[in-house]
């Protein structure tokens, strides 16, 4: 794995985690009656940072690869936040779907 791949993975992971944090803020605002509009605005601001990172990822990667890397990183991060912070439960089928997505990344990247 060359430096270009490490950079792409790092950006995708970071952008996915940032996006997941934005998702969590927006979820908190939408579901908690006492949440202020500041929580919503913070969620939008954080998501804009994730969008900038995703755009940077596009500069050196094919569209399909960039989208898949970002979405899988975001999905795994938000799944962890959902389970450990919001105490939401995943079904077995949802867990299998997440595992298939991660395996899909491995298959895509080892085929190059």
- Work out the mean pLDDT of the chain and round it to a whole number: 89
35-39, 56-60, 65-69 — most confident range: 35-39
21: pLDDT strictly greater than 90? yes
Q: Structural domain of residue 78, as residue ranges?
A: 3-110
Q: What percent of the chain has pLDDT over 70?
A: 96
- Model confidence, pTM: 0.82
- 85's tokens: 């912070």
Phi and psi at residue 95, in whole multiples of 5°?
Answer: -65, -40
- Token pair 């991660």 is found at 102
Number of structural domains, the chain?
A: 1
Residue holding tokens 């912070």? 85
Mean pLDDT of 14-43: 94
pLDDT of residue 68: 83
CA–CA gap between residue 43 and residue 26 (Å, rounded): 5
């Amino acid at each position: 794995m060359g430096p270009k791949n490490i950079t792409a993975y790092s950006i995708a992971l970071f952008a996915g985690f940032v996006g997941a944090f934005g998702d969590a803020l927006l979820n908190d605002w939408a579901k908690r009656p006492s949440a202020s509009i500041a929580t919503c605005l913070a969620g939008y601001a954080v998501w804009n940072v994730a969008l900038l990172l995703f755009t940077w990822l596009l500069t050196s990667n094919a569209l399909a690869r960039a989208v898949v890397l970002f979405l899988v990183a975001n999905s795994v991060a938000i799944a962890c936040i959902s389970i450990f912070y919001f105490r939401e439960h995943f079904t077995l089928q949802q867990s299998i779907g997440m595992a298939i997505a991660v395996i899909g990344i491995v298959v895509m990247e080892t085929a190059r």
